[in-house]
Amino acid sequence: MIKEKLLELKKLLKSKKPDFIRYESWRYKRVKPNWRRPRGIDSKVRQKKKGWIKMPNVGYRSPKIVRGVHPSGFEEVIVYRPEDLEKLDPTKHAVRIAHTVGTKKKLAILEKAEELELIVLNPTKEVHRGEIEESEEISI
């Protein structure tokens, strides 16, 4: 109950949070939009002047309980082999299969996850001769 409300709050806060882009990345093609802290002595962004882009700070954080939690409310765990699933709790964890895992092992992970009643966030379906078709991410 409390976690669900905090997840809603996290979603609301994220919608109001500005995009933190690097100062003057819109001006020069060589400056990428990835955030870097402005350090110039006369920088208006560093001085937090009104009308300039916002800087990230602790006030934009989400509640501690739901920080790093998948929107479905489950803790996301990356899995590389079927044996990794044995340690997980189906009431707390959701599984994401690593992108480096091949088709054969992916199918084994899916079978084991179904057996243990774990939610797989990026399931795949076998089409033919090793080719796979990606399906949409499951959101609960």
Assigned token pair, 88? 């997980």
What gap in Å lies between CA 22 and CA 46, rounded to an integer? Answer: 12
Q: Residue 67: what pLDDT?
A: 86
The pTM of the full predicted model, rounded to 2 decimals, is 0.65
Burial 66-79 (b: 16+ CB within 10 A, else e): beebbeeebeebeb
Q: What is the mean pLDDT of residues 108-124?
A: 92
Task: Tell me the CA distances in angstroms from 131 to 86, 107, 119, 125, one per residue in order.
Answer: 27, 12, 22, 9
* Alpha-carbon dihedral sign for residues 96, 101, 103, 104: negative
**pLDDT tens digits, one per residue of 83-109:** 999 999 999 999 999 999 999 999 999
* Alpha-carbon dihedral sign for residues 74, 78, 82, 86: negative
Which of 66-70, 92-96, 120-124 is modeled with the greatest confidence? 92-96
